[in-house]
Amino acid sequence: MSTLEKAFDKMGARVRVTRVPHNVTDFRRFGGRLEGNVALDIRRDKNGEFFDFHLREGIKTQVLDVRPDERHLLLMIRDPENPKARFLCGHDERHWFTAAIPEVAGASNVKEAKEALKPVELKRIERKRKVKEKDKNKHHRNAEGGKIHRQGEFTFVPQPNMTVKEWLVQKKEPLAQRGNPHVADFLYRTGGDVVYTHKNYPDGISVQEYNKLIRSRDENARGRWEQRTVGMRAYVKGRIRHSQHATIELGSVWHEVIVNTEGLSVARSFVTFMD
């Protein structure tokens, strides 16, 4: 058993590592789902779930910390394109998961990795409420108007005095349009900025920039453009469902939806599994 396998076994998990030769450009030939140097996934066989890693030959791994009692470990993968990519691997309410840690955090253990994934808003609430260190990783925290809940990458903070425009409330709505989405009984979105996206402008450009571009003779003005709204705030109530997590009951109080910081990590592109 390799050092990596021993570390995962210590926290009660199985891991399979497939080494991909340098001359192979598509990991799918080896059962992987991504191209590049690293692909991390969660898969299932007759014995249950396991971590499935595809690594280019020469890519080194280092387990920085293992916490068997928490069923978590922190893994660093030295990819030449991102030599200090870190991943928190562990078990949630029902299933194994892996989450990329923002590189700027420089986490060296499981505790620091969990802290690095917390949204700024949640850290602010913890400081304001003077939450004790031993309580910071609990899913339920006291807050004005109720409790703070977490489900996967989302945190729900109660907004007891909030009123909304009922005709804008959506029912049985996914919180994200990717992977296996979390679905809210009631969802209300507000604010945000309109942008236009194109294959050459995947992050979008403003309305003013778009209008200027289409009036020009720039060849980028050709092709299909899509209008999207970014930076919106989302609020939910009722039940939040997801096949990988226990259902959360938020009741009749609106809760603001806050996303963890994994999206700030460059290494997130290595992760195939999405909850």
Average of pLDDT values for 196-216?
79
Q: Does the pLDDT of residue 16 top 90, yes or no?
A: yes
Which pLDDT does position 96 carry in this prediction? Answer: 93
Which pLDDT does position 75 carry in this prediction? Answer: 96
- Model confidence, pTM: 0.73
Which pLDDT does position 53 carry in this prediction? Answer: 92
Which pLDDT does position 233 carry in this prediction? Answer: 86
Of all residues in the chain, the percent with pLDDT exceeding 90 is: 34
pLDDT: which is higher, 8 or 245: 8
Res. 9 pLDDT band, cuts 50 70 90: very high
Q: What CA–CA distance (Å, rounded) separates 173 from 183? A: 5
Res. 264 pLDDT band, cuts 50 70 90: low
Res. 140 pLDDT band, cuts 50 70 90: low
**Domains in the chain, number:** 3
Q: Does the pLDDT of residue 30 top 90, yes or no?
A: no
Residues 139, 245, single domain; the answer is yes
Contact 39, 27 (CB under 8 A): yes
Residues 245, 129, single domain; the answer is yes
Can you say how many angstroms the Cα of residue 225 is from the centroid of all Cα atoms in its chain? 27
pLDDT of 189-205, one tens digit each? 888 778 888 777 777 78
Burial of 139 (0-12, 13-18, 19+ CB in 10 A): middle
pLDDT of 224-247, one tens digit each? 778 777 777 899 999 999 888 889
Which pLDDT does position 151 carry in this prediction? Answer: 87
pLDDT: which is higher, 58 or 271: 58
Q: Does the pLDDT of residue 95 top 60, yes or no?
A: yes
pLDDT of 100-138, one tens digit each? 998 878 899 999 999 999 888 878 877 777 766 666 565
User: Which range of residues forms the domain containing residue 183?
Assistant: 120-191+232-259
CA distances from 123 to 58, 131, 132, 141, 260 (A): 38, 10, 12, 12, 11
Residues 84, 177, single domain; the answer is no
Residues 80, 148, single domain; the answer is no
Q: Which of 179, 93, 111 is CA-nearest to residue 101?
A: 111
Residues 185, 238, single domain; the answer is yes
- For residue 275, being part of any structural domain is answered with no
Name the DSSP letter for residue 179. Answer: S
Q: Does the pLDDT of residue 67 top 80, yes or no?
A: yes
Which pLDDT does position 10 carry in this prediction? Answer: 96
Average of pLDDT values for 88-104?
89
Residues 78, 10, single domain; the answer is yes
Residues 41, 81, single domain; the answer is yes
